Amino acid sequence: MSISMSTAYDRVHDGAVKATLPPLEELLSSAHVVTLPLATRFRGIEVREAMLFDGPEGWTEFSPFLEYGDAEAATWLAAAIDFGWMPQPPARRGTVGVNATVPAVPAASVGDVLARFDGCRTAKVKVAERGQTLADDIARVRAVREVMGIEGRVRIDANGGWNVDEAEHAIHALADCDLEYVEQPCASVPELVELRRRVKFHGIPIAADESVRKAEDPLAVARAGAADILIVKVQPLGGVSRALDIVSRAGLPAVVSSALDTSIGLSMGAALAAALPDLDYDCGLGTASLLLADVMEQPLRPRSGAISTARVAADESTLAKNAASADRFDWWTSRLSRCYEILSASAEQ
């Protein structure tokens, strides 16, 4: 379900940016577009594109995935403006623990992937990949469990790829892997409610991601009792303060995650993780380790299983080295203009 124009805009400080929406020319004056290759194919892509701005509060990122429509992407732009042009909530912690992320790779490649995540004691494993089987998932998850050892924490993410029966069967099959939680096993809130009822005896929590960040009402999943944990991402939710408000109103534990961001986008997520009153789980903010290039000479990668929550800045030389082609810059500029028009129209309502 797409996000409405008014919802996209109102997700920024509940309308506070309406008074401070910077001119489009100001955004364009500091805009950079980068193309970053991935170490392993992830989410069906081999390169990640992102647009960055240097705002008065610091560097910020606008990087909705290419297939997202303008209305949904406008929320990501609202988050970029929030982080680059508005003061952020105070930090409660200077570092946050992060998980390793294992794409839908063959089981034999698991060790190489995990080696990129220094000191991480939690791993999130992608499952339900199109074109793969449950046997592939089981082999991958068990390989991760073997590498992590009995003290490591293993969580899986299906990105809504199973129906209720498939999810129930998969959870049964993976019960011996001592799963920390299962993220978005099914696509819809009613499916999550039914699955949670069926697998409750396993004691494996259900986490909601797409049912929060892609929903017209991100609190619907909590009201329905469809999840035990919320996965929250700064860009899709319109900014740090908006995400904090959602977590507070939902009354559920939260895991801050990324959307395969550059180190600037990960810094946005780290700011949210730093501001949360409670942070009981490692966060999905270690994904710079999946990139072969970034926007900083020293990317925001895990060190001893954690990242700093201090704000970071892009390096002009690194931006230039990884700059997108002229036609891709023009594509992003056009997208920025369209999304900006959506925010401007919402501000006038």
Same domain flag for 125 and 56: no
Residue with tokens 């732009």: 77
131 lies in the same domain as 44: no
The annotation status of 294 as a binding-site residue, yes or no, is no
Give Cβ neighbours of residue 331 (< 8 Å, ≥ 6 apart): none
Whether 49 and 99 map to the same domain: the answer is no
The confidence score (pLDDT) of residue 253 equals 98
Do 217 and 333 lie in a common domain?
Answer: no
Query: What CATH number does the domain containing 322 carry?
Result: 3.30.390.10
Please give the structure tokens belonging to residue 307.
Answer: 């990242």
Type of residue numbered 91: A
Residues 38 and 149 in one domain: no
129 is annotated as contributing to ligand binding: no
Do 212 and 115 lie in one domain? The reply is yes
126 has catalytic annotation? yes
Read off the pTM: 0.93
Would you write out the chain's pLDDT as a tens digit for each of its 349 residues?
A: 333 333 443 444 444 444 479 999 999 999 999 999 999 888 889 999 999 999 999 999 999 999 999 999 999 999 999 999 999 999 999 999 999 999 999 999 999 999 999 999 999 999 999 999 999 999 999 999 999 999 999 999 999 999 999 999 999 999 999 999 999 999 999 999 999 999 999 999 999 999 999 999 999 999 999 999 999 999 999 999 999 999 999 999 999 999 899 999 999 999 999 999 999 999 999 999 999 999 999 999 999 999 999 999 999 999 999 999 999 999 999 999 999 999 999 887 7
Q: Using an 8 Å Cβ cutoff, are 165 and 171 in contact?
A: no
- Owner of token pair 């929060």: 212
Q: Are residues 265 and 126 in the same domain?
A: yes
| 85 and 162 co-located in one domain | no
From 18, 124, 214, 233, active-site residue: 233
Asked if 323 and 33 count as a contact pair (C-beta separation under 8 A), the reply is yes
Q: Is 124 a catalytic residue?
A: no
Same domain for 73 and 110, yes or no, is no
User: How much is the CA Rg of the chain, to the nearest whole Å?
Assistant: 19
349 burial level (CB within 10 Å; 0-12, 13-18, 19+): exposed
Catalytic residue among 18, 126, 200, 214: 126
| Total domain count, the chain | 2
Question: What's the CA angle centered on 43, arms 30 and 237, to 5 degrees?
Answer: 55
Residue 251 identity (one-letter amino acid): G
CB 20, CB 46: distance < 8 Å:
no
Strand partners, 33: 51
Beta strands 229-232 and 206-208: pairing type? Answer: parallel
Containing structural domain, residue 310? 95-314
What is the DSSP code (8-state) at residue 56? T
Q: d(Cα 287, Cα 120) in Å, to the nearest integer? A: 12
Q: What distances in angstroms separate CA 284 from CA 68, 233, 281, one per listed residue?
A: 21, 9, 9
**Residue 25 gets which letter from DSSP?**
H
H or E element at residue 39: strand 32-42
User: Which CATH number does the domain housing residue 283 bear?
Assistant: 3.20.20.120
Annotate 129-179 with DSSP letters as a single string: -TT--HHHHHHHHHHHHHHH-TTSEEEEE-TT-S-HHHHHHHHHHTGGG-E
Compute CA distances 49 → 45, 58, 159, 330, whole Å. Answer: 10, 20, 21, 13
Question: Please, which residues bridge with residue 124 across strands?
Answer: 101, 155
* Annotated binding residue 217: no
Same domain as 128, residue 240: yes
Residues 239 and 331 in one domain: no
DSSP 8-state secondary structure symbol assigned to residue 217: S
321 and 309 within one domain: no
